[in-house]
Amino acid sequence: MFNDNERTMQKPIPTSFGPRTTATEALGGQDLTGKVAIVTGGYSGLGLEVTKVLVKAGAKVIVPVRTPEKARVAAQSIPGVELVSLDLMVPESIDVFAQRFLNSNRPLDILINAAAIMATPLTRDSHGNESQFSTNHLGHFRLTARLWPALKKAEQARIVSVTSRIGKLHHIDLEDLNFEKKDYEKWMAYARSKVANSLFSVEMDKRGKAHGVRAFTVHPGTIITDLARSLSDEELRTMGALNEKGERALPYFNDEFKTIEEGAATIVWCAVNRQLDGMGGIYCENNDIAEVVAEDSNPFEAGVYQRTIDPDLAEKLWRLSEKLIDLEFTI
């Protein structure tokens, strides 16, 4: 890759962590007192674990919520978490959330774009955008744009977008992002949205680094969380994620299959660990920078494809995203 600074190249670096590292360990013992973070999806699954770890380290964490009662229950054991209404598929909701934060005059040190929907039936937002692309990418694109003044104010902010290795299975089609020309396929739609998350980080970092804002992409691993709520038991059984008792659970753990604490680790590492100071625009997994691998390699093994972090494609997607949400993301 691909960036001006050799330190940000897409190649592994020596770390003391690995696939079994937990989010608490990935924190690197930092005191985050005085830091402010927003964690979308921060009341469920990986996002909830990230929220817990950041709060315990002293950060003030704001969690956007689409289902308030679920969020209140999840946050009961986390002191000081700020829950604020937000629906990533509704532009007006994003704008209100962001303006409320900007009105507080706080800098935003950490923005973690972790909320997502997966493999859902075809639905569209009010502008006709397919729901997975709308939620997973366009909603976060708009949210980041609206929060830009606070990110810039922090001077050394980090933006972390959560992707998925499934992005290796499909190319992103900039000519038909919303399945208006071809038949909808739910896994293809999910994969495209996850590639978009990665490409967003590449272009975001290119534009933001002059202001001290760096962006990262994280593949957390395969973890059974509420993200799989749209999948049937039969689908999970086929994937090996339904045990003999009919419970939704992984049969074992390895470099890819992880616990929630392990799955949240690379997110936390990218968000706060000092090992990544001066870096950005990179795709990470297993608490390290992922290696670029050939596209004829096994898509279910570690590594990132070049097309997933292609700077030209990232710039094109950025411009198209601005058009789709009718908002110029000016930096």
* Active site members: 190
What is residue 248's three-state secondary structure?
Answer: strand
Q: Which of 225, 220, 194, 222 is nearest to 287 (CA)?
A: 220
What H or E segment, with its residue span, contains residue 64?
strand 60-65
Specify the DSSP class assigned to residue 6: G
Beta bridge partners of 304: 292
Q: Report residue 291: phi and psi, to 5°.
A: -85, 140
Asked if residues 308 and 198 have their Cβ atoms less than 8 Å apart, the reply is: yes
Q: Which of 62, 64, 130, 67 is nearest to 94 (CA)?
A: 64
- Give CA–CA dist 36/8, Å, rounded: 25
Q: Say how many residues make up the chain.
A: 331
Angstrom distances, CA of residue 234 to CA of 52, 184, 230, 252:
32, 21, 12, 19
What one-character-per-residue DSSP string does 169-226 give? GS---TT-TTSSSS---HHHHHHHHHHHHHHHHHHHHHHHGGGT-EEEEEE--B--SG
Task: Show the tokens assigned to 274.
Answer: 């000092």
- Give CA–CA dist 226/213, Å, rounded: 31
Q: Dihedral of CA 280/270/215/212: which sign? A: negative
